[in-house]
Amino acid sequence: MLEDEDLLLDVLNSSPVVDGAVTEQLDGAQGQQLATRFGGTGSDVELRALRRARAAVHAAVRGQGDAPQQLSAAIGVAVIVPQVTATGIDWDLRAPADERLAARTVLAWARVQQELPGRLRPCANDECNLFLVDHSRPGTAKWCSMATCGNRMKARAHAQRERLSGRV
């Protein structure tokens, strides 16, 4: 698993569809809990920055809109500074406290794009708003969860085949 991949997926998947409606998990206590779990402040400013980063990465993954401009805005004034150590170079992210998680989210997206090209994708279920990073050897994973979307989509496909064959 790549650095901050969990953060990336938790942010991307923080607007799931529940009972047919998109829900928001990056506000209130739920958003604060997500932010603090990854070392954030949990402030309203930080949660707004995370929502902006989520929208930018959603657009980038789906190939929509002005993703580069959105990603740039989500990073804000963050910079990465090299720190030379006896064992090599460490990279230090410098950003205002309330913008750090948003910048880390965008950087995690960039890292996944570079190291696992094509493996970050939306769930193949059109009624789902979640994403996955496909770590399977063949790179053919389609669903955010085999237990939910995968099973649901396979059951629908089976029922459709049965209807078309006239057995139902």
Question: Where do the structural domains in the chain lie, given as residue ranges?
Answer: 5-165
pLDDT in tens, 16-34: 988 889 999 999 999 999 9
Backbone phi and psi for residue 100, each to the nearest 5 degrees, phi listed first: -60, -45
Per-residue confidence (pLDDT) for residue 28, from 0 to 100: 95
| Confidence grade of residue 126 (pLDDT, cut at 50, 70, 90) | confident
pTM of the model as a whole: 0.85
Rama region for 42: left / alpha / beta (φ>0; ψ in -120 to 50; rest) = left
Per-residue confidence (pLDDT) for residue 101, from 0 to 100: 96
Only one residue has tokens 């720190």, namely 83
Contacts of 114 (CB under 8 A, 6+ apart): none
pLDDT in tens, 31-74: 999 999 999 999 999 999 999 999 999 999 999 989 999 999 99
pLDDT in tens, 67-120: 999 999 999 999 999 999 999 999 999 999 999 999 999 999 999 999 999 999
Residue 21, strand partner residues: 18
* Domain 5-165 part of CATH 1.10.3300.10: yes
Reduce the DSSP state of residue 122 to 3 states and report it. strand
**If residue 21 lies in a helix (H) or strand (E), which one and from where to where?**
strand 21-22
